A = this chain, B = another copy of it.
Amino acid sequence: MLVFIQHSGTANFYYATGIKLESSYHIVGERLNVLIVPDMEKERAARESKADEVVSYSEIGYHERRKKMDARTAFVESLKEFLRERGVTRVQIPPDFPAYIALNLNFSVEVVENPFLKKRAIKSKEEVEKIRESCIAAVKAFDFIRREISREKMCEELRYAVELYLFQQGFIAEGTIVASGKLTALPHFRGRGRIEEHVVVDIFPKSREHGYYGDFTRTVLLDGDSEIEEMLRVVIEAKQKGIETVREGITAKDVHNAVCDVIESYGYHTLRSKASEGFIHSTGHGVGLEVHEEPRIFENDDVLKAGMVFTIEPGLYYRNVGGVRVEDTVVVGRGGCEVLTPYEDWVKV
């Protein structure tokens, strides 16, 4: 029998089993959907998880073996015996599966894409509504903070205000970007110090209730830096073009190319010409139980399907000028897509 084994601590594990655990393993195959969990988690896992069966470390002989060998060998030996007893002959594992088990399993082991990763990329209606909640929370947090932006403020205090606002609404936001000045040329620079000519605000809250993320970015202009203004006009047009392009049946690359075409038409560079400045990242990424998941919207051929949720987020980054970015989260529908983060693109305070 062929089985797929995945380890706890990943969004795929949580998606597939419906429970957060540590040091646990999920084994699925024909007529098999079993969790191996530490003894103290057995009852909770039986109660809360979607697995058909929950087996404890003790029940696979781990604690007996542990007296005679180190913890890792004891676990691998226990797992091997369990698999043999269940008639398993071939094992598939995901790419991020722990090496110490993969290298010592002594079964026919094959690394495959995690099947739950692809499933997760297409959201159910219930999942879309959860992501919508987190997207709306991000938009509201931005609408709240834009009124506070001025040259008297520090990036750090605005970030704190955004994250506190979201916490009070039931969301956790970590790593929020409120960045100003030339260091905004680093796309993941979180921001520090005094607000200058423009501010990049990138908010990706996770619901404390259901764990789904939303993702939203706007660039706020304070006053006239004509170079930044021009760059912002271009990424807004590129983002709109990307959103108009999205529909079921086309590929991720089609969207990325549409976005790059707009940017290059204004003389800016993209990764298509191997630029080290300009639009130096992908167009977007899936959003769900992780803030970065499938599908990637880049040079790849993944076909867009109804129910996929991802970002469209062109940016332009120049070390001597700074960076700008606008980002919406969208869900693919039949003839196009719906924007889950509706908000004006051009924001000047």
Of chain B, the residue at the smallest CB distance from A95 is B100
- Judged by a CB distance under 8 angstroms, whether A167 is at the interface is yes
Cα-based distance from A325 to B86 in the complex (angstroms): 38
Task: Give 16 A-B pairs besides A96-B99, A172-B174 with Cβ atoms closer than 8 angstroms.
Answer: A22-B292, A39-B276, A39-B280, A40-B281, A63-B274, A72-B95, A95-B100, A97-B98, A99-B101, A99-B102, A103-B103, A103-B109, A103-B111, A163-B167, A164-B168, A167-B167
- Judged by a CB distance under 8 angstroms, whether A306 is at the interface is no
> Considering the complex, which residues of chain A in the window 58-106 have a beta carbon less than 8 Å from any beta carbon of chain B?
58, 63, 72, 93-103
Measured CB to CB, the residues of A under 8 A from B are: 22, 39-41, 43-44, 47, 58, 63, 72, 93-103, 109, 111, 163-164, 167-168, 172, 174, 186-189, 208, 274, 276, 280-281, 292
Cα-based distance from A72 to B102 in the complex (angstroms): 17
| B111, A280: Cβ atoms closer than 8 Å | no
Cα-based distance from A40 to B281 in the complex (angstroms): 7
A21 to chain B, nearest CB (A): 9
Of chain B, the residue at the smallest CB distance from A173 is B172
A251 to chain B, nearest CB (A): 16
